[in-house]
Amino acid sequence: MNKIKITFPDGSQREYDRNITGKQIAEGISKGLAKEALAVEVNGDVCDLSLPIEQDAILKILKWSDDGGKEAYWHSSAHLMAEAIESLYPGAKFGIGPSIETGFYYDIDLGDHSLTKEDLQHIEEKMIEFSNRDVPYIREEKQWDDAVDYFKKKGDQYKLELLEEFKGQKITLYHHGNFIDLCRGPHIPSTGKIKAIKLLNVAGAYWRGNEKNKMMQRVYGVTFPSKKELDDYLFALEEAKRRDHRKLGSEMELFLLTPKVGSGLPLWLPKGTILRESLVEFLRDEQKKRGYQTVITPHIANLDLYKTSGHYPYYKDSQFPPIQLEDGEAFLLKPMNCPHHHQIYSVKPRSYRDLPVRLAEFGTVYRYEQSGEMNGLTRVRGFTQDDAHIYCAHDQLKAEIKATIELTQLVFSTFGMDVKIRLSYRDDKNVEKYGGEAVFWEQAQREIREVADEMKLDYFVAIGEASFYGPKVDFMVKDALNRTWQLGTVQVDYVMPERFQLEFVGQDGQKHRPVIIHRAPFGSLERFVGILIEHFAGEFPLWLAPTQAAVLPITDAVSDYAKQVFDSLKASGIRAEFDDRNEKIGYKIRDWEMRKVAYMLIVGEKEKTNGTVSIRQHKKGDQGVVRMEEFQTRILENIKTRALTI
């Protein structure tokens, strides 16, 4: 047959000649679409618009508004930057240059030369020059030997090392202008689509993430189709610096990271502990309402436990080395809470009448992160997960998934965060990556989609994003800076019940395997707090704020009354501080405003005489004079309802 059937996103279908390209299809639809097209998605894979389509396919033309379009755009921008660098620094050697969530980077070896801000400016100018030529990105297939010969002549040992992984296979190269690179693609049609360019910074990065390898220079950049989009992004970057949780965490005395304790091991200061414990109390209260049982497990366990689960040795590169004892027994710092919970489930025989069993723990785990990858609270070596495991029968799975989604939605709505759902399915073309029986996978994937439809969730399906033991529901959360974070997750697991021989006796009197749901709305408390600090810019909802009010006497003559106000606040459960420093009231107000405290209660002679307080609110100034009882009633109601605004 010389015809193929193409299915479009709206479900419509058309026949085309075999080997038609995405570009030709876009041109046949409209000139406007062809002009905007950056790449094409074919059966879930992002491809070049010039790639021939050989068989029936589900197809989507990708524009800048599509994630796949941005991915191709920024990947092509990385190649454009590499061409500019090679032009300015002949002999430069290149590692890898992928697109990232926003923008791209390329790892580069320039010998003894370290790039400066001025160098980045020159590279930007050269990128603009090359972009204006508007030359195409051309894909070329080569035999492995020919590709090796090319990079040997070029003297690029990094590409030669990468080629060793593809020995005997067909190799794809991309070239544009005078630059040729080893690359799978995809790429946009031509360099001219890259309009607005900004190189952001240079960081050190070990080749292939291995500390034993050479330290390369990782150049980060971002590009956009228009200057306005670039300007908006750079403004958001400056706002992100202002909100940086590392900066605010220090200024607000929330947490401490010190080399004396160890990289990636945060110390929670008293105010940060209040914030953290408020989150724990919030979720623990909600879990109690939903029938969860709280458990506690140790920070260390026998190595064999993790061999049974598969966490060791399969993920040993992300774990601290085992602790070997003289008697031959070995222990491991806990990398996951799951195996411990499975032991608790199996402590006694279980009947179908016992199910579902919901075990929850705020359990601290440890992962080995390389020093260059750690970042404040958002990437650490020791962190606490709001972990829970639900053990249920197959016919209970759908209801339990729905309940866990509802709980996770409640968490994010409480913080005013927009959520999009990703249904992460297995890749049926690569089934060896996954455990469990196909029939259960199909059932679980069908049921999580049914739940998503019934709950009218805003979701998309991601093939190949499932964990090795089952499909999952991932919560993609947008913060106040419009950044997307993958936070909460609900994962279905068929593998661990087999590995740990977990059982329950069904209504038929026979033994059955339960299904496990792994669930963690926050993900990790450390990362979640880091994100919250930046989301709220340190101006937390009142129920979360470490200090909810500060009492400021104007003179020593009213200190006794001010102390009564302070004691009354404390007695009612309001987190208050008393500022009796020998400073002018204007100074005190400015200081507490800088500390981002929601309310200042100003006390002078008039307030003492009338039994009132003068209220100042953060960023809003004078709110008038009220009686203490009125203020306390108002603030306690705000705290009780966990209101998002003050």
What CATH number does the domain containing 490 carry? 3.30.930.10
The pLDDT of residue 311: 83
**Confidence bin at 436 (pLDDT 50/70/90):** confident
The pLDDT of residue 1: 59
Q: Which CATH number belongs to the domain containing residue 173 in this structure?
A: 3.30.980.10
The answer, yes or no, to whether the previous bond of 322 is cis (omega within 30 of 0) is no
Mean pLDDT, range 254-263, rounded to an integer: 94
Mean pLDDT, range 99-106, rounded to an integer: 94
Mean pLDDT, range 63-68, rounded to an integer: 94
Single residue among 63, 82, 108 that ends a domain in this structure? 63
Whether 472 is catalytic is: yes
The pLDDT of residue 388: 97
Catalytic residue (one of 63, 358, 389, 513): 389
CB 505 within 8 A of CB 464: no
| Co-location of 27 and 107 in the same domain | no
Whether 287 is catalytic is: no
Whether 183 is catalytic is: no
**Confidence bin at 555 (pLDDT 50/70/90):** very high
CA 249 to the chain's CA centroid: 19
CA 532 to the chain's CA centroid: 13
Catalytic residue (one of 387, 474, 479, 579): 387
| Co-location of 485 and 347 in the same domain | yes
Phi and psi for 593 in degrees, rounded to 5? -65, -40
Instruction: Please state, rounded to an integer, the average pLDDT across all residues of the chain.
Output: 93
| Co-location of 55 and 80 in the same domain | no
Q: Which residues contact 209 (CB under 8 A, 6 or more apart)?
A: 370, 373
Q: Is 140's pLDDT higher than 90?
A: yes
The pLDDT of residue 331: 95
Q: Cβ–Cβ contacts within 10 Å for residue 182, how many?
A: 21
Q: Is 60's pLDDT higher than 90?
A: yes
Mean pLDDT, range 9-19, rounded to an integer: 91
Please state, in angstroms and rounded to a whole number, the distance separating the CA atoms of residues 240 and 48: 34
The domain tally of the chain equals: 4
Q: Is 201's pLDDT higher than 90?
A: yes
Whether 518 is catalytic is: yes
Instruction: Measure the N-to-C terminal CA separation of the chain; round to a whole number of Å.
Output: 68
Question: Which residues share a beta bridge with 486?
Answer: 476
The larger pLDDT score, comparing residue 361 to residue 462, is at: 361
* pLDDT tens per residue, range 452-500: 999 999 899 888 888 877 899 999 998 888 888 888 899 988 889 999 9
Catalytic residue (one of 47, 183, 338, 392): 338
Please state, in angstroms and rounded to a whole number, the distance separating the CA atoms of residues 534 and 240: 7
The answer, yes or no, to whether the previous bond of 313 is cis (omega within 30 of 0) is yes
**Confidence bin at 53 (pLDDT 50/70/90):** very high
Q: Cβ–Cβ contacts within 10 Å for residue 116, how many?
A: 10
The pLDDT of residue 435: 74
Exposed/middle/buried for 153, CB within 10 Å: 0-12, 13-18, 19+? Answer: exposed
| Co-location of 103 and 225 in the same domain | yes
Whether 474 is catalytic is: no
| Co-location of 494 and 565 in the same domain | no
Whether 385 is catalytic is: yes
| Co-location of 564 and 527 in the same domain | no
Q: Which domain holds residue 198?
A: 74-233
How large a percentage of the chain has pLDDT more than 90? 82
Question: Which residues share a beta bridge with 60?
Answer: 41
| Co-location of 517 and 573 in the same domain | no
Catalytic residue (one of 93, 350, 358, 518): 518
Catalytic residue (one of 319, 385, 548, 632): 385
Please state, in angstroms and rounded to a whole number, the distance separating the CA atoms of residues 429 and 368: 32
Please state, in angstroms and rounded to a whole number, the distance separating the CA atoms of residues 483 and 490: 21
Angle subtended at Cα 522 by Cα 337 and Cα 255, rounded to the nearest 5 degrees: 95
**Confidence bin at 74 (pLDDT 50/70/90):** very high
Q: Which CATH number belongs to the domain containing residue 57 in this structure?
A: 3.10.20.30
Give the least confident one: 7-11, 39-43, 611-615: 7-11
Please state, in angstroms and rounded to a whole number, the distance separating the CA atoms of residues 1 and 16: 11
Helices (H), 171-329: 227-243, 245-251, 270-289, 303-309, 311-314
CB 96 within 8 A of CB 106: yes
Whether 486 is catalytic is: no
Q: Is 204's pLDDT higher than 70?
A: yes
The pLDDT of residue 262: 93
